[in-house]
Structure 1
Amino acid sequence: MSGGFEAATGDGPPLPGPDAEQRSREVRAAVEGLRQIRRVTGRQGEDPAARPAEWERRQPVRAVALVLEAAGQPPSALDASGTRVASGYRVTPGDRPGTAVVEWLGPPGSGAGHEEEAALGACAAALERFGWDALLYRGPRRHRFLEVEPADPGS
């Protein structure tokens, strides 16, 4: 989607500070569009938050990033040289199709590693409220991350 709204994955530039209200409007509009897709494509009588739509299942990184941004979680960010300049979530593709990985990263010395467990817990809660399963894992060097996949209630 070039030129259109893109949810912050945590690997882009810092979000615009002066245009925060405009960004907030764009996020709300994107989430409302996602809810509409879920209403149209969901099962009869099902809560639109109950399960991700097919669009989300095909693009989990974008969908998960949108949910996290809409929940008010801050994305991490990189400057033009690729140096991490902000603490927050980072969403990348998972090892399996239809999955995503959420990490909590920050610049060196930022203390992001100390915030990691609580911050990822808040991310998991936000994702679960919107129909995603988020499992907390501990990887190399005790680095925590979430593996996220669509929830499938009642199947």
Structure 2
Amino acid sequence: MVKPVTGAQQRIVEAAEPGTGRLSGTAAQLDGLVRRGLAFRHPRPPHACFLTPAGHRLREGDAPAPPPPPDPGGGDRPAGDGGFRARTGVADDPPGGAARLREARAAWSGMRELRRMTRADGATDRLCGWERQHPVRAAALALEAAGFPPASQEPGGYQVRESPQPDAVQIAPVGGTPPDRVEEAWSRTLTEAGWQVSHHQGVRPPGPYLLASPRRD
């Protein structure tokens, strides 16, 4: 059972910076929040702490989730998403809902902060290293945080999948064809999130899809 946070830890969570979720407190207090899965420590100096999706839920008055299990891969999970798994449009996607959307947006905010802290110019309009290594999860996070329903939630929703083309992913409607404006909205969202997007017509499987690759510097 997860121990409740102390009054001091609760105040630290509530005082997190709007948008980024950056925390201020003593090393012991921040370490306590990290152990509870409510915060993560950025891997690069100055090793600042930020709220995870569970931390954001606590700040908003919801009960915090149990801390995520240790990552045996030693860094395979990005610090920016706190272990959040974006929905890609497959059958085993996590369920949706208002709380889920808040988690997605918190994870996207953390990813943008990770971009800022890992670029020399502090820009957030280009993908970071983790996103380039996990393009399916990265593209899916940008779409889910924007509020678009995946194919696992409604017919014609998107499915993000690997592409035969290196460094690219496919985003395709499944179970129905969405209006052109919806597909254009997917394209616009990904473009604003740092992707280079083009429209294609598939043969196997047939149907339209978007091809997205990291925007070049």
Per-residue deviation, 1:116: 5.2
RMSD (Å) for aligned C-alpha atoms: 2.2
Tell me, what secondary structure is at the counterpart of 1:77? coil
Residue aligning to 1:88: 157
Q: Does 1:23 align with 2:86?
A: no
Contact kept? 1:100, 1:149, Cα under 8 Å? yes
Per-residue deviation, 1:9: 0.3
Rounded to whole Å, the distance in 2 between the matches of 1:98 and 1:31 is 20
Tell me, what secondary structure is at the counterpart of 1:51? coil
Contact kept? 1:117, 1:144, Cα under 8 Å? no
Letter in 1 for 2:190: L
Q: 1:45 to 1:9 in 2, by over 3 A?
A: closer
Tell me, what secondary structure is at the counterpart of 2:141? helix
5+ residue gaps, structure 1, are 79-84, 107-111
Tell me, what secondary structure is at the counterpart of 2:200? strand
Residue aligning to 1:81: none
Which is worse superposed, 64-73 or 93-102?
A: 93-102
Contact kept? 2:115, 2:122, Cα under 8 Å? no
1:67 to 142, 145, 161: 142
Contact kept? 1:104, 1:116, Cα under 8 Å? no
Q: Does 1:76 align with 2:151?
A: yes
Rounded to whole Å, the distance in 2 between the matches of 1:100 and 1:14 is 18
TM-score by length of 1: 0.77
1:131 to 177, 184, 194: 194
Residue aligning to 1:109: none
Contact kept? 1:104, 1:119, Cα under 8 Å? no
Per-residue deviation, 1:22: 1.7
TM-score by length of 2: 0.57
Per-residue deviation, 1:66: 0.4
5+ residue gaps, structure 2, are 1-67, 70-82
Per-residue deviation, 1:86: 3.6
The sequence identity of aligned pairs, in percent, is 35
Letter in 1 for 2:168: T
Per-residue deviation, 1:122: 1.0
Per-residue deviation, 1:71: 1.0
More relative contact order, 1 or 2 (CA 8 Å, 6+ apart): 1
Per-residue deviation, 1:120: 1.8
**Structure 1 stretches of at least 4 aligned residues deviating more than 6 Å after TM superposition:** none
Contact kept? 1:101, 1:146, Cα under 8 Å? yes
C-alpha offsets along residues 67-96 of structure 1, whole Å, 9 cap, x if unaligned?
001111110118xxxxxx643000001112
Contact kept? 1:9, 1:90, Cα under 8 Å? yes
The structure with the largest alpha-carbon Rg is 2
1:12 to 79, 91, 103: 91
